[in-house]
């Protein structure tokens, strides 16, 4: 199994809603990443979890709250989002963090629309 699975594929939420994005991998990878991608732009790193601990937070607003309950699962909790947060949210995983020659595996993404 070389897949990173993200759910849901699409999400529409109001600015007062609370929702969560989910990312799962069963490759035994110990680093997992959240990226945000706006239309026609490259992905931007949001968070990195390494061995279930948050190791990088790229100054992301607190309305985005990551969680890594175990080594296979990564969540992104969303609350009080703004319309400009509408984007494709991508999850990725690597064996042990992006060290030396490490291949990254990406999920299909969740297309989020905030109304």
Partner 1 sequence: KNEVEQSPQNLTAQEGEFITINCSYSVGISALHWLQQHPGGGIVSLFMLSSGKKKHGRLIATINIQEKHSSLHITASHPRDSAVYICAVLNYGGSQGNLIFGKGTKLSVKP
Q: What is the contact surface with partner 1 in residues (CB under 8 A)?
A: 6, 40-43, 45, 48, 50, 55-56, 88, 90, 92, 97-109, 111
- Whose Cβ is closer to partner 1: residue 45's or residue 80's? 45
Please state the φ and ψ torsions of residue 85, each to the nearest 5 degrees: -80, -5
The distance of closest approach from Cβ of residue 10 to partner 1 in the complex, given in angstroms and rounded to an integer, is: 9
Distances (CA, A) of 60 to 14, 76, 92: 20, 12, 17
- Whose Cβ is closer to partner 1: residue 72's or residue 108's? 108
- Whose Cβ is closer to partner 1: residue 79's or residue 111's? 111
The distance of closest approach from Cβ of residue 43 to partner 1 in the complex, given in angstroms and rounded to an integer, is: 6
Q: Are strands 64-70 and 73-79 parallel, antiparallel or unpaired?
A: antiparallel
The distance of closest approach from Cβ of residue 109 to partner 1 in the complex, given in angstroms and rounded to an integer, is: 4
Contacts with 42 (C-beta within 8 Å, 6 or more apart), sequence order: none
The distance of closest approach from Cβ of residue 2 to partner 1 in the complex, given in angstroms and rounded to an integer, is: 10
- Whose Cβ is closer to partner 1: residue 15's or residue 102's? 102
């Amino acid at each position: 199994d070389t897949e990173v699975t993200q759910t849901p594929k699409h999400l529409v939420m109001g600015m007062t809603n609370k929702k969560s994005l989910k990312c799962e991998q069963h490759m035994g990878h110990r680093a997992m990443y959240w990226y945000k991608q706006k239309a026609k732009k490259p992905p931007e790193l949001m968070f990195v979890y390494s061995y279930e601990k948050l190791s990088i937070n790229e100054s992301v607003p607190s309305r985005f709250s990551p969680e890594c309950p175990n080594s296979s699962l990564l969540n992104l909790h969303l609350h009080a989002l703004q319309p400009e947060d509408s984007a494709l949210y991508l999850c990725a995983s690597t064996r042990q963090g992006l060290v030396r020659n490490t291949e990254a595996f990406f999920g299909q993404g969740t297309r989020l629309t905030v109304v």
